[in-house]
Structure 1
């Protein structure tokens, strides 16, 4: 059975020196491998195809049969790695904390320790457009889930 560690090594070798990064690797029974990638400057189908071809060349189907799917996480998928947060600085996030709080605000900053959200503080008697802004620092270990809020303008 091919392991996630083997797949990660092959991916590291393949994407080294590019802006592509690994979001998630799953290896299911029967060697069904699913890889989610992202890139700082956007990930196209063509770039996924190139990575797929290079990774596939590093494994021998004669030794062990497998299926490999490489794609990018959907817009409705939660953010999983620090680089995804950094890439989405300036966008609105919906965050659920481990203690059950639900926050929505603009991602102002992300570093290796956590994120800074700018949230509107509900103020009684004022319209939402007049609510004051407050910054909230959240360490990654306090975040249960964070998703990009899709906005249509």
Structure 2
């Protein structure tokens, strides 16, 4: 009953749980879409699901008979990448994943084929550069290498923090102020209401 409502709204139901909290049920739905899910979209899906749950209760549905609390959210960064759509939605991001086997290089000027053998499983941190219904293409030290989904464990997106030394000097002063502080001590001591000095 819940998945068709989410699908009709243009999203995927990633997870659903129903638990009891005293006399109430707690219904948790995690939704996602190819373009992500905005707060407005979460609110819209929440309204649609609430209406569907109310209608189901009126017609004798047994999912949540009685009072319930509905929680709709988007998946967090810690959600494992397990489906092709998860990988597709994370192209460009850095992931950590267990891979099995050597993988396969994409065709480049007749240089296609397996990467030198890498037996067993190994942990790999690489950037997702492509994904389709059959495989994921990761940018590795050896260049782009593809793995079929059965050869991948669940991927985990790695949070990346930009380093300060990567920011250009002109971006640091992009607020319009130049480096000399000619506006300090210019005799303009107007009091601004609510401002402490």
TM range (shorter): 0.7 to 0.9
- TM-score scaled by structure 1? 0.73
Correspondences of 1:4-153 after superposition (within 5 Å): 6-13=1-8, 15=9, 18=10, 20-28=11-19, 31-60=25-54, 61-62=57-58, 63=60, 64-65=65-66, 66-97=68-99, 100-120=121-141, 133-153=142-162
Task: Measure, in 1, the Cα distance between the counterparts of 2:82 and 2:31.
Answer: 11
How many residue pairs get aligned? The number is 132
Task: Measure, in 1, the Cα distance between the counterparts of 2:29 and 2:83.
Answer: 14
Task: Measure, in 2, the Cα distance between the counterparts of 1:142 and 1:25.
Answer: 27
8 Å CA contact 1:90, 1:107 repeated in 2 = yes
1:34 positional shift: 1.9
**Aligned partner of residue 10 in structure 1, secondary structure:** helix
Higher strand share: 1
1:28 positional shift: 3.8
Task: Measure, in 2, the Cα distance between the counterparts of 1:97 and 1:89.
Answer: 17
Structure 1 runs, 4 residues or longer, greater than 4 Å off: none
1:100 positional shift: 3.9
1:86 positional shift: 1.1
Structure 1 unaligned spans of 5+? 1-5, 121-132
Task: Measure, in 2, the Cα distance between the counterparts of 1:47 and 1:108.
Answer: 27
Task: Measure, in 1, the Cα distance between the counterparts of 2:154 and 2:34.
Answer: 21
| Higher Cα radius of gyration | 2
1:114 positional shift: 2.0
Q: Give CA-to-partner distance per residue, 1:81-131, whole Å, 9 cap, x none.
A: 3222112112211112466420111111111112111111xxxxxxxxxxx
- Superposed CA RMSD in Å reads 2.3
Task: Measure, in 2, the Cα distance between the counterparts of 1:25 and 1:82.
Answer: 19
Task: Measure, in 1, the Cα distance between the counterparts of 2:18 and 2:151.
Answer: 27
